Amino acid sequence: MDPSVTTPGHTTHRSPTETGIWVFILADLSIFALYFVVFAFEKSRMPELFIAGQQTLNQTFGGINTLLLLTSSYFMARAVQFARIGALQPFQQALGRTMLCGTGFLVIKTIEYSDKFSGGYHIATDAFFRNYFAFTGFHMLHVILGMSLLLYLRLFIRSSQGFQQNLHNIEGVGLYWHMVDLLWVILFTLIYRVP
């Protein structure tokens, strides 16, 4: 099929929102890539310190948070699919489930931070905890922003016309949410799992 030919009602035009979200995602991924390089460099200079710090982390909490965000990605993908076909109630349910998983992530991360603080660990403890709190805290801010965007969609899209007017926004929020989930998988692997 000739890519220049479009079906009725379908255009190849990209909205400013769609272009903007891709620029934002690429910029954000670049920032995290720099973080990962810094983390790897510092870990290579102080491997014993990083291994000791890693052993204080709650692997169960990290694993549950990973499952929560992967599950949330599934529900977000379903929400986008439902938006594309104009299915309002399933869209709202999928968004609600995405938000429930995101809330679970935030609750567990807060418990984990509280555990670290009560154990005497904080951002100034050492290089490992500086990286741990900086990276996971920055990621947590991304989750909070994502949750705010999900709440916005859930509150303001109340009709099938809302889908038509906001499909690019819904897809953009979906892309952002998947990026947040991907970043967590990388953070979990680097900080919690790789010795």
Q: Domains along the chain? A: 16-193 (1.20.120.80)
| pLDDT at position 139 over 90 | yes
Q: Can you give the pLDDT at residue 20? A: 86
Q: Work out the pLDDT band at 185, boundaries 50, 70, 90.
A: very high
Averaged pLDDT for residues 113-127 = 97
Whether residue 37 contacts residue 135, with contact meaning beta carbons closer than 8 Å, is answered with no
Model confidence over 69-86: pLDDT tens digits?
Answer: 999 999 999 999 999 999
What pLDDT does 58 receive? 96
> In this predicted structure, what is the pLDDT of residue 21?
87
Q: What's the confidence (pLDDT) of residue 16? A: 61
Alpha carbon 54 to chain centroid, angstroms: 22
Determine the pLDDT at residue 15: 63
Mean pLDDT (the chain) is: 91
- Extended beta strands in the chain, E state: none
* 2 has pLDDT over 50: no
Residue 5 has pLDDT above 60, yes or no: no
Q: For residue 50, give both structure tokens.
A: 């990083």
194: left (phi over 0), alpha (psi -120 to 50) or beta: beta
Could you tell me the two tokens for 98? 């995405």
Count other C-beta atoms under 10 Å from residue 107's C-beta: 12
Question: Taking a C-beta distance cutoff of 8 angstroms, is the pair 101, 75 a contact?
Answer: yes
The predicted pLDDT at position 118 comes to 97
Q: What is the pLDDT of residue 91?
A: 96
Are 170 and 20 in contact, with CB atoms under 8 Å apart? no
d(C-alpha 179, C-alpha 80), whole Å: 15
Nearest partner of 150 among 82, 88, 100, judged by Cα: 100
Q: What is the pLDDT of residues 17-68, one digit of tens each?
A: 678 889 999 999 999 999 999 999 999 999 999 999 999 999 999 999 999 9
